[in-house]
Structure 1
Amino acid sequence: MTDTKNNIYFIGIGGIGMSALARYFVAKGNTIAGYDKTPSGITNVLEDLGIAICYEDTIDTIPELYKNVETTTVVYTPAIPESHIQLNYFKTHNFKIQKRSEILGDITQDTFCFAIAGTHGKTTTTSILGHLLNKCNVDMTAFLGGISENYNSNLIINGTEVSVVEADEFDRSFLTLSPDFACITSMDADHLDIYGDASELIKTFEEFSKKIKPNGKLFVKNGLPIQGITYGIEDDSDYTAKNIRIENGTYIFDVKTPKTILKNFQFNLPGRHNLSNALIALAMSVEYGLPQPQLANALASYKGVKRRFTYQIKTDELIFIDDYAHHPEEINAVHQAVREMYPNDKVLAIFQPHLFTRTKDFVEGFAEALSQFDEVMLLDIYPARELPIEGVNSQWLLDKISNENKQLVSKTELITKLKEIDTKIIITIGAGDIGEEAKKIKKALSIAS
């Protein structure tokens, strides 16, 4: 594709997955431009790389260079509405148009491809695996669904023989991949606006498992209804984390493989869910043939992904953590992690629900997960690509939370409310623009303290 069409125009270039592809093609020497709805930290970085980005959905804002059907490929994300003016211009003028997932399939087709699938844990697992391979000097590129703390980027590029990608179940995108090694971390119901029900989601994961190349390997979390090399925490899996202890806020553990026991790995992220992500990244690396000493050193140096249990403030008086969790199981995992690290302290959770459909589908699960915290503040639902659904709102969810220490809060009054409480541990949770609010909270609370 890129040999004949050097110009690539991205519609939705500020998205986390799209921006990683844009960075990749800049590194490959392609000429890149794109559209996004609003400026952001990601688009600022892309513009610093020389990428022209427009923020108005008009034909006039498309640079002339990219209106040549012979030299331009158009890439778009499924989050773009069908009414998008620029996308429809390219469609009616017969440009080559591909979804993000299709481009990713093209890029990885002739590489040794590691694909990380699952309704939770994809981004952290992909970033751990990319870091392990990079530190073990593998000729590789990793496309991440978040910003790595180690590289301050959503792209790790150190060659093109091996690729590491998130296999995204949204819109069935992962069916465009043909991985050599793949893993499935979880198969909890999600994206029911796409799938209708959980059984259809499971069928699609089964279809993905059949996309693995001949002589490839599938790794699955123990207990999932798909056959493969199993992994788990303190159980009878093929790969198991054993002898787990916490020393100075860090996990120390051993890994039982089908052949031996690898001792004394160090991992700095809290939470059993993150430990599970580290284990599967290690299992795939071991099966690929990487040596234990290098893997142990690499894992110990892993710093995490931004907005995945990220400490914004960490003092004796105040802990402020920001996390991307937007599904009940992910909120449960955040709760487990914070309770394990701070068993004696009260915790305030500030949650911004993401999507009306997801809130409607999982309202009982959200209520149960949030009720575990000592205090809860709810923001309004972040709509993203959706229109409102009658009766589905944050007040509806708030009424279902059994914890009496709960309140509905607007973004404009949030900081004032926070200054009035004396809870030691505060966690912001959600996949919408609450990450931007977290920056304001950090600044306000840092000044206050």
Structure 2
Amino acid sequence: MEQIILDPTYQPIDYDSVDITSWHRVHFIGIGGAGMSVLAEMLLEQGITVTGSDAHRNAKTDRLESLGATIFEGQSASNVDGASIVVYSSAIKPDNPEIVHAVEQGILLMHRSDILAALMAQKKSITVAGAHGKTTTSAMIAQICTSAGKAELGDPSFAIGGSIHTPEGLKDGGHAGKGEIFVAEADESDGSFIKYHPYIAVITNVEPDHLDHYGDAQAFTQAFVRHAQNATGHVVACADDEGALSVIRSLNDEERKQAIVYTTNPELTMKFAQVVYIQTDNRSTFDGGQDFSIRWLERYGTDMIHAHIRVPGMHNVRNATAALIATLLVGIKPDEAARALDDFRGAARRFDIKGIVDDVTVVDDYAHHPTEVAALMEAARVRYPDERIRVLFQPHLFSRTHYFAQEFAKALSLADEAIVTGIYPAREFQKDWPDVTADTIPQAARETGIEISIRAIDDMNEAAQYLSKTAQPHDVIFTVGAGSITNMADVIVEQLSARKA
């Protein structure tokens, strides 16, 4: 058999003409992952037979099984027998037994992005791309459409890589709605987002990441330019981010006429593109959130749109502004959109308060890039100006840790104390990065003269135990990272409760 090549940027079908309801059975490899489980749930909601495999069962596979999916624990060739389509993510390797058997049987292979593109082609889609803020901004847009959308603007479909906190409780990140709006994260990590043709493309920021795929920063930025050019209606971008601004400046004059940028800089002007100005005092409100206002001269003249969010940080003010602009563009009224935004309680694992025990607060967050960690720490200082901020950080990927060690050290220096655990490898292997360890970031801190305590404890359970034992009233302990570190938030809460007892 010829060598199998899995290219996430390859388009195997015509998204506009495909009849999804004709799919006999769709099998997902790695169905328990955040990006895959959302799509599987959406297909189940459309009445399609779904099967899937994963190395281990988890809460997501249990939920999918309760909705009618067949779940296989472990991956083997026989799992794909009878499937009409086999779906893989970029974490799946060509020698995976289910991939090999699917090729041998002539079963159509589709990357997860192909499923998402086919689902979006049925609707008026809004995508959110960027190195940071995708999940929160997507969730805000979905919340506004759900709460304020009427008729075809209500009951949106959404595919978001995380659960959403709402007034009704925690909701899963996938839903096949009856309305015309589809909100989706556009994952830039593997280049597959260039296949999407959304009505509105939101770009929160463009900061080089995933260089293991792109090779250099120029290729990374160019992929965003191509994504922006694929938008059929509008591009919405953050002008406070130099990378996103460079994408807009790379568009031709006609393309820029469809662009709207948002900024905290009152002096910014752009040729052809519209500018939305943000005003805020960046102070925490009674509920730990923030008030802000936006001014969109071209659309609303000098009238200000006033809004409130219940999640802290300037980065979230910018995310909320992007969400407001996108929902106003599809026709939701400003006052109703702002009111609906106030219902947003945050996305799971985004400044997610897990418990308060004896005046010690434990917060879990997904931040896994230096800019995200810095934004998290800045938001923490706004919400908890007088408390001691302590961070338990698990780096995500050996490559990212290697390339951004100094930047991580600088971001973590905004805390009062930081502990770095062993690295969560995801798709990478330690043997390929033998010199990258838990001490890589603390060593960078020492070399750059950072004075606050940043040290390594490889075992995250040991680190969690240390933080619990040494916690004092008014401490705020953050578990931070995109991997298994999230489990330590509950561990710390349990240990604090046991200490109290």
Give me the TM-score of the superposition, normalised by structure 2: 0.85
Give the aligned partner of residue 15 of structure 2: none
Report Cα offsets for 1:328-358 as digits up to 9, x if no partner.
Answer: 0000000100011112221111100000111
Match of 2:77 among 45, 59, 79: 59
- Residue identity in the other structure for 1:218: V
Matching of residues 57-206 of structure 1 within 5 Å:
57-60=75-78, 62=79, 67-68=81-82, 72-137=84-149, 138-139=153-154, 140-150=156-166, 151-206=170-225
- Residue identity in the other structure for 2:284: I
Task: Give the secondary structure class of the aligned counterpart of 1:171.
Answer: coil
Cα distance in 1 for partners of 2:465, 2:246 equals 48
- Residue identity in the other structure for 1:407: R
Cα distance in 2 for partners of 1:29, 1:262 equals 45
Question: What is the CA distance between 1:234 and its match in structure 2?
Answer: 5.2
**How many aligned positions are there?**
441
Give the aligned partner of residue 418 of structure 2: 376
- Residue identity in the other structure for 2:94: E
Cα distance in 2 for partners of 1:242, 1:14 equals 41
Task: Give the secondary structure class of the aligned counterpart of 1:179.
Answer: coil
Task: Give the secondary structure class of the aligned counterpart of 1:414.
Answer: helix
Give the aligned partner of residue 52 of structure 2: 34
Give the aligned partner of residue 40 of structure 2: 22
Cα distance in 2 for partners of 1:246, 1:412 equals 33
- Residue identity in the other structure for 2:435: G
Question: What is the CA distance between 1:240 and its match in structure 2?
Answer: 2.2
**Contact 1:240–1:279 (CA<8 Å) still a contact in 2?**
no
Match of 1:412 among 461, 476, 482: 461
Report Cα offsets for 1:331-390 as digits up to 9, x if no partner.
Answer: 000010001111222111110000011111111111111122111111100111111112
Instruction: State whether structure 2 residue 470 is matched by structure 1 residue 432.
Output: no
- Residue identity in the other structure for 2:181: V
Q: Higher mean Cα deviation, 5-14 or 409-418?
A: 409-418
Q: Higher mean Cα deviation, 269-278 or 109-118?
A: 109-118
**Contact 2:25–2:49 (CA<8 Å) still a contact in 1?**
yes
Instruction: State whether structure 2 residue 497 is matched by structure 1 residue 446.
Output: yes
Report Cα offsets for 1:221-255 as digits up to 9, x if no partner.
Answer: 11420223110235346222224453212312222
Q: Higher mean Cα deviation, 417-426 or 10-19?
A: 417-426
Cα distance in 1 for partners of 2:366, 2:284 equals 24
Give the aligned partner of residue 276 of structure 2: 239
Match of 2:386 among 313, 336, 344: 344
Cα distance in 1 for partners of 2:192, 2:367 equals 21
Report Cα offsets for 1:230-281 as digits up to 9, x if no partner.
Answer: 1023534622222445321231222211223334311100111111100100
Give the aligned partner of residue 317 of structure 2: 275
**Distance verdict in 2 for CA 1:444–1:316, change over 3 Å:** closer
Instruction: State whether structure 2 residue 229 is matched by structure 1 residue 210.
Output: yes
- Residue identity in the other structure for 1:92: E
**Contact 2:128–2:184 (CA<8 Å) still a contact in 1?**
yes
Question: What is the CA distance between 1:3 and its match in structure 2?
Answer: 3.1
Give the aligned partner of residue 8 of structure 1: 26
Task: Give the superposed CA RMSD.
Answer: 1.7
Instruction: State whether structure 2 residue 290 is matched by structure 1 residue 251.
Output: yes
Report Cα offsets for 1:283-317 as digits up to 9, x if no partner.
Answer: 11112221122212211111111110101124671
Cα distance in 1 for partners of 2:440, 2:403 equals 13
**Contact 2:42–2:174 (CA<8 Å) still a contact in 1?**
yes
- Residue identity in the other structure for 1:317: D
Task: Give the secondary structure class of the aligned counterpart of 1:97.
Answer: strand
Task: Give the secondary structure class of the aligned counterpart of 1:383.
Answer: coil
**Gapped runs of 5+ residues in structure 2?**
1-18, 249-258, 269-274
Question: What is the CA distance between 1:403 and its match in structure 2?
Answer: 3.5
Task: Give the secondary structure class of the aligned counterpart of 1:220.
Answer: strand
Match of 1:400 among 444, 452, 456: 444
Instruction: State whether structure 2 residue 331 is matched by structure 1 residue 289.
Output: yes
Q: Higher mean Cα deviation, 155-164 or 365-374?
A: 155-164
**Contact 1:372–1:403 (CA<8 Å) still a contact in 2?**
no
Question: What is the CA distance between 1:160 and its match in structure 2?
Answer: 4.7
Task: Give the secondary structure class of the aligned counterpart of 1:230.
Answer: strand
Question: What is the CA distance between 1:43 and its match in structure 2?
Answer: 1.6
Cα distance in 1 for partners of 2:468, 2:196 equals 48
Instruction: State whether structure 2 residue 246 is matched by structure 1 residue 225.
Output: yes
Q: Higher mean Cα deviation, 402-411 or 98-107?
A: 402-411
- Residue identity in the other structure for 1:105: A
Task: Give the secondary structure class of the aligned counterpart of 1:246.
Answer: coil
Cα distance in 2 for partners of 1:418, 1:274 equals 28
Question: What is the CA distance between 1:172 and its match in structure 2?
Answer: 0.6
Task: Give the secondary structure class of the aligned counterpart of 2:22.
Answer: coil
**Contact 2:42–2:175 (CA<8 Å) still a contact in 1?**
no
- Residue identity in the other structure for 2:147: K
**Gapped runs of 5+ residues in structure 1?**
none
Task: Give the secondary structure class of the aligned counterpart of 2:467.
Answer: helix
Cα distance in 2 for partners of 1:156, 1:304 equals 17
Question: What is the CA distance between 1:5 and its match in structure 2?
Answer: 2.1
Cα distance in 2 for partners of 1:446, 1:42 equals 28
Cα distance in 1 for partners of 2:334, 2:196 equals 29
- Residue identity in the other structure for 1:176: K
Cα distance in 2 for partners of 1:375, 1:254 equals 34
- Residue identity in the other structure for 1:147: S
Question: What is the CA distance between 1:149 and its match in structure 2?
Answer: 1.4
Cα distance in 1 for partners of 2:157, 2:291 equals 28
**Distance verdict in 2 for CA 1:407–1:246, change over 3 Å:** closer
- Residue identity in the other structure for 1:398: P
**Distance verdict in 2 for CA 1:343–1:103, change over 3 Å:** same
Cα distance in 2 for partners of 1:24, 1:205 equals 26
Question: What is the CA distance between 1:405 and its match in structure 2?
Answer: 2.0
Question: What is the CA distance between 1:10 and its match in structure 2?
Answer: 0.6
Q: Higher mean Cα deviation, 95-104 or 232-241?
A: 232-241
- Residue identity in the other structure for 1:142: F
- Residue identity in the other structure for 1:304: G
Question: What is the CA distance between 1:76 and its match in structure 2?
Answer: 1.0
- Residue identity in the other structure for 1:233: T
